[in-house]
Structure 1
Amino acid sequence: MTAISELRVNGDRLWGRLEEMARIGATPAGGVHRLALSDEDRRARDLFRAWAGSLGLAVSVDGIGNMFARREGPEGTGAPAESRPPLVLGSHLDSQPTGGRFDGPLGVLAALEVVETLEEHGVRTARPIEVVNWTNEEGARFPPAMMGSGVFSARFDLADALGATDPDGMTVSDAIDRIGYRGALPVGGRPIAAALELHIEQGPILEEDGCEIGVVTGVQGARWFDLAIVGEEAHAGSTPMSRRTDPVAALGRFLVDVNRRVERDFAPHGRLTFGVLAAEPASRNTVPGRVTVSVDLRHPDDATLDDMEDALREAATDACLERGAAWRLDDVWRSPPVRFSGRCIDAVRAAADLCGYSSMPMVAGAGHDSVHTNDVAPTGMIFVPCEGGISHNEAENITPAQAEAGANVLLHAALRLVEPTPADMLSAPTNQPGGAA
């Protein structure tokens, strides 16, 4: 007999599945191209469904394509399924156009490994566990990102999500039907007991600190804006520099000023990104009359985000006054900071300690499906390091040991949230799904 505390996942099996999944949409540079609701996504979904079915899990699909592979709790309770809210474990299988092999699939396949480990050892849990594959987490083909979990949590409207289009004009609705993954299950509207997501960090902090596990306490807030600076079009050759109302010159001062303010006043957690810049009329020999730039502000504290937004507006005012230009800042999207459940945070921390892994608390810098599940259930996240902090890149990489460590922490955090039955001892391992309890 084996103590529950000694239970560990099969790291070789997990790594094998990660490698097999990575062959779907594999790129020559070692990454994956597996956009949401594409043929490659369909093949990944089919493989996940086959693996779940081999474990005797009941797979259901909802109206936005979210997949749930359910392992029931104790048999013979007589309680209807809706009265036994599950613990949900998982992430996503879609990728960026030139994405990595682990962003998303690690969370789905580690959750599947957790369930298979419980099956092998005959451990029944006090409530069901569902392994989830959320639809269109990346948002690379269909905006917005985190779509499936957003509809599930009622943050997004189902009709709006189904009507979203890709650059070729195909709707989400048509794409789901084309790959055969519009399910009959209603989207959301049912209780879940808690949710846990394992993910690569997508940043350098864990690796730089030599730490094995990130205990994610929340996700930083984000605010998106479009800034337009308006000047006056003029001839590039005949208009003296002193006579120009040049919006590009105003933008140059603004970029330098606001970057300096964020680095000085909002370190170390403040983030500022200008991703898209454009000048009009985009003629080589014309002083532009208008420039636009996208702005991405992030910080884990909402009040500090207010201060960062104020600094943004002050920098725009100062830069445009100097050049006689006008400016306008349009709101695009706001996502408040997220604080995860204390119970889930404690479960992850305790699981890392139990398994002997070093851990540290941290705030997620990127958005994840857990942002949305946190709206409807206690939620937690686990991070493992990724090489060089590189993600959304074909060079994204982790080691088999890091994948195994994350899955072991996911296993024991899950067991703390869903008490096993019996709670003290395990039967001898079995290779048959649903072994003796």
Structure 2
Amino acid sequence: MPSITVQAAGSPKIDGERLNSTLHHSCQWGATPDGGMNRVALNDDDAKVRRWLIQEVEKLGCTVKIDEMGNIFGIREGKNPNLAPIGIGSHLDTQATGGRYDGILGVLTGLEILRACHDANYKANAPLAVVCWTNEEGCRFAPYAIGSACWAHTYTTEFGQACTDADGITIGAELERHGMKGEHKCSHEALPLSAHFEVHIEQGPILDYAETPSPVAAVTGVQGLRWYDIVLQGVGAHAGTTPMELRKDAVIASAKMILEIEKIAVDFKGKATSGKIGSNGQPQAYNCILNQVELGLDLRHEDEETLEKMSQEVVRACQEIAKKSGVQIVKWDEKMRSEAMDFDKVAVEHIKGACLRSGFKRFDIVSGAGHDSVYTAMHCPTAMLFVRCKDGLSHTPVEYSSPEDIEVGAKVLLDAVLSYDKKVNGRPETP
């Protein structure tokens, strides 16, 4: 691995050992026996790690602001009080069967950057803020990234607080229970950012399998995605007495749809995932033909116009299959959409410049996963940095990024943030 020389003498310096130790220390809240994490949004462990983060930021003399959606902003004062903070953010919630790096790395890298500035008594031109966004995963409460989406006014705060989990518990109720419903408006106007930088594990295999290995890559944008809730209504019947040609089997219809959707996605060079399959709470038995099936569908493409065409073709094909199968599509609801987008070119160039100064090849990647940065990008210059993860695996207990790669990512991000900070103050630095 090349030596890292991205910081000038006397500037803030990342302590890789401290960062990695802190990351795993924070994972005591929500740790599972298999080495993974179950820290779904606003459960007791999520509340504990949030309170811990607030304490750590306050130790550095930072100001903490919490908005009505529980988004946390830990702000270190800058030289120019008239500038909005440069946010360094991600999330601390995980999937129910998640790992130790997705989201967590981004928040704790932000904390480490604030610690590095504190240790060096370094004051940036703009304030610097570590940001912890609420409910990015969308595992317990849908839609995903609700905290940053409300900040961006994609959803109202009232909508966000009213989102429920499977037990009917609302985000608002959990924020109240944990004392995390802040006094500040959840708004990019009330709590503005002059930029937003996010470091995240890649969650894919490009960096790990590249011919010329690199632990980091600049992210130029994010794929568009759409979620659909679908319910198919057939006719329940006896498995032994109903001839195959007379059946109106919702299970068979759903299987044909899933296969056809996959083919369409391949043809459009997009992605399709049938990640939820159920029977809408109905009893299941070996000798019964189910009369109802529910599907959860995820469609993605990096081009928004192509995604629209792909979505239309999926609907058309499924309607045709339903008709031929004697099955009705009684529900086809769009649960969520996030449009494909490009990140701010100037902010991305600062990420790329930092990668080159660190001695690594310039990789450009379009993220296949959604992130809080999708929503911050709507209202402030935003860029992301990917860190290599083993075999590209995430949302699983075996999710892993090496301590060395984590340190590199933090150093590159610090370099990018500080070079961008000079640009913000009217003194552009060549990326």
TM-score (norm 2): 0.89
- How far off its partner does 1:283 sit? 4.9
Distance verdict in 2 for CA 1:174–1:231, change over 3 Å: closer
Q: Give the secondary structure class of the aligned counterpart of 1:275.
A: strand
RMSD of aligned residue pairs (Cα, Å): 2.5
Structure 1 CA distance for aligned equivalents of residues 375 and 386 of structure 2: 18
- With 306-315 and 333-342 compared, the bigger mean Cα shift is at 306-315
User: Which residue of 1 is the match for residue 363 of structure 2?
Assistant: 360
- 1:62 maps to which residue? 67
Q: Which structure's CA Rg is the greater one?
A: 1
Q: Is the 8 A contact 1:212 1:359 kept in 2?
A: no
CA distance in 1, matches of 2:288, 2:41: 41
User: Secondary structure in 1 aligned to 2:296?
Assistant: strand
Aligned to 1:143: 142
In structure 1, runs of 5+ residues without a counterpart are 425-437
Q: CA deviation at 1:34?
A: 2.0
In structure 2, how many angstroms separate the alpha carbons of the residues matched to 1:23 and 1:358?
35
Q: Which amino acid aligns with 1:40?
A: D
Change (3 A) 1:244 1:358: same
Post-superposition shift, 1:288? 3.4
Q: Residues 86 and 219 from structure 1, CA distance in 2 versus in 1: closer, same or farther, beyond 3 angstroms?
A: same
The one-character-per-residue Cα deviations of 1:385-428 (angstroms, maximum 9, x if unpaired) are: 1112121111111111111111011101101210199x99xxxx
How far is the alpha carbon of 1:257 from its aligned partner?
A: 2.5
Contact 1:111 1:410 (8 Å CA) reproduced:
no
1:274 equivalent to 2:274? Answer yes
- Asked if residue 251 in structure 1 is aligned to residue 254 in structure 2, the reply is yes
In the alignment, structure 1 residue 395 sits paired with structure 2 residue 378: no
Deviation at 1:318, TM superposition (A): 3.9
Matches within 5 A, 1:73-152: 73-74=78-79, 81=81, 83-152=82-151
Amino acid at match of 1:271: K
From 300, 305, 308, the counterpart of 2:307: 305
C-alpha spacing 1:238/1:216, structure 2 compared with 1 (3 Å): same
Question: What's the offset of the Cα at 1:302?
Answer: 1.0
Change (3 A) 1:98 1:258: closer
2:32 pairs with 1:27? yes
* CA contact 1:5–1:354 (8 Å) conserved in 2: no
How many residues matched? 414
Q: Classify the secondary structure of the residue corresponding to 1:91.
A: strand
1:155 aligns with 2:131: no
Opposite residue 27 of structure 1, the aligned amino acid is T
TM-superposition CA deviations, 1:136-160 (whole Å, max 9, x none)? 2222223332121112111121122
**Structure 1 match to 2:195:** 194
Task: State the alpha-carbon separation in 1 of the partners of residues 46 and 163 from structure 2.
Answer: 18
Deviation, 1:171, is 2.6
Structure 1 residue 414 corresponds to structure 2 residue 417 = yes
Are 2:384 and 1:381 aligned?
Answer: yes
236, 252, 277: which one pairs with 2:239?
A: 236
Distance change >3 Å, CA 33–CA 317, structure 1 → 2:
closer
Structure number with higher relative contact order (C-alpha < 8 Å, ≥ 6 residues apart): 1
Cα gap change, 1:165/1:232 in structure 2, threshold over 3 Å: closer, same or farther? Answer: closer
Match in the other structure for 1:215: 218
Counterpart of 1:199 in 2: which secondary structure?
strand
The partner residue of 1:371 within 363, 371, 374 is: 374
- The CA deviation at 1:125 is 1.6
For 2:28 and 2:292, how far apart are their aligned partners in 1?
46
Q: Report the CA distance between 1:293 and its aligned residue.
A: 1.9
Letter in 2 for 1:184: E
- On the 8 A contact 1:219/1:338 being kept in 2, the answer is yes
Residue 298 of structure 2: which of 296, 299, 317 is its match? 296
Quote the Cα distance in structure 1 between the aligned partners of 2:389 and 2:143. 25
Q: SS at the partner of 1:310?
A: helix
Amino acid at match of 1:244: R
1:348 corresponds to which residue?
351
Contact 2:95 2:137 in 1 (8 A): yes
CA spacing shift, 1:258–1:411, aligned 2, 3 Å = same
1:217–1:380 contact (8 Å) kept in structure 2 = yes
Deviation at 1:18, TM superposition (A): 0.8
Q: Percent identity?
A: 37
State whether residues 22 and 101 of structure 1, in contact with CA within 8 Å, keep that contact through their aligned partners in structure 2: yes
CA distance in 2: counterparts of 1:326 and 1:174, whole angstroms: 37
Alignment of 1:154-193 (within 5 A): 154-188=153-187, 189-190=189-190, 191-193=192-194
Change beyond 3 A, Cα 1:29–1:297: same
TM-superposed deviation, 1:340: 0.7
Deviations 1:146-202 (A, max 9, x none): 121112111121122222233333332232222222222222223321100111111
Q: Which runs of 5+ in 2 are unaligned?
A: none
Alignment TM-score, normalising by the size of structure 1: 0.87
